[in-house]
Amino acid sequence: MAEILKGAPVANSITEKLTREVAELKVKGVVPALAIVRIGESPDDIAYERAAMKRAEQVGVNIANEIFPEDISEAAFLDELRRINKDDNMHGILIMQPLPKHIDGLAAREMIAAEKDVDGCTQASMAGVFANTGVGFPPCTAEAAMEMLHYYNVDIAGKKAAVIGRSLVIGRPLGMLLMHENATVVNCHTATPDIPLITSKADILIAALGRLHSVTPEYTNPNQVVIDVGINWDEEKQGISGDVDFNAVESVVKAITPVPAGVGSVTTSVLMKHVVEAAWRKASQ
Q: Give the Å distances, CA to CA, from 124 to 62, 112, 147, 214.
A: 25, 10, 22, 33
Residues 228-247 that bind a copy of itself (CB under 8 A): none
Q: Closer to a copy of itself at the Cβ: 39 or 129?
A: 129
User: Judged by CB under 8 A, which stretch of 8-16, 75-83, 128-136, 147-155 contacts a copy of itself?
Assistant: 128-136
Return the residues of window 176-215 that contact a copy of itself according to CB under 8 A: 176, 179, 182-189, 191-193, 198
Contacting residues for 234 by C-beta, under 8 A, at least 6 apart: 212, 213, 240, 241
Task: Determine the size of the site formed for a copy of itself (CB under 8 A).
Answer: 30
Q: Degrees (nearest 5) of the Cα angle 246, 268, 7? A: 35
Residue 257 neighbours by CB under 8 Å, 6+ apart: 4, 5, 6, 7, 148, 226, 227, 228, 242, 263
Site string for a copy of itself, 18-57 (x = CB under 8 A): ----------------------------------------
CB of 262 to a copy of itself, least distance (A): 26
| Residue 64 dihedral angles phi and psi, to the nearest 5° | -110, 115
3-class DSSP state of 112: coil
Note whether 65 binds a copy of itself by CB under 8 A: no
The runs of H, that is alpha helices, within 87-170 are 105-109, 123-131, 140-151
Do 248 and 215 contact (CB within 8 A), yes or no?
no
Of 124, 154, 170, 275, the residue at the interface with a copy of itself (CB under 8 A) is 124
Shortest reach from residue 190's CB to a copy of itself, in Å: 8
Which residue lies nearer to a copy of itself by CB, 125 or 241? Answer: 125
In angstroms, give the least distance from the CB of 192 to a copy of itself: 4
Shortest spacing between CB 161 and a copy of itself, in angstroms: 10
Residues in contact with a copy of itself by the rule CB under 8 A: 106, 123-124, 126-131, 133, 135, 157-158, 166, 168, 172, 176, 179, 182-189, 191-193, 198
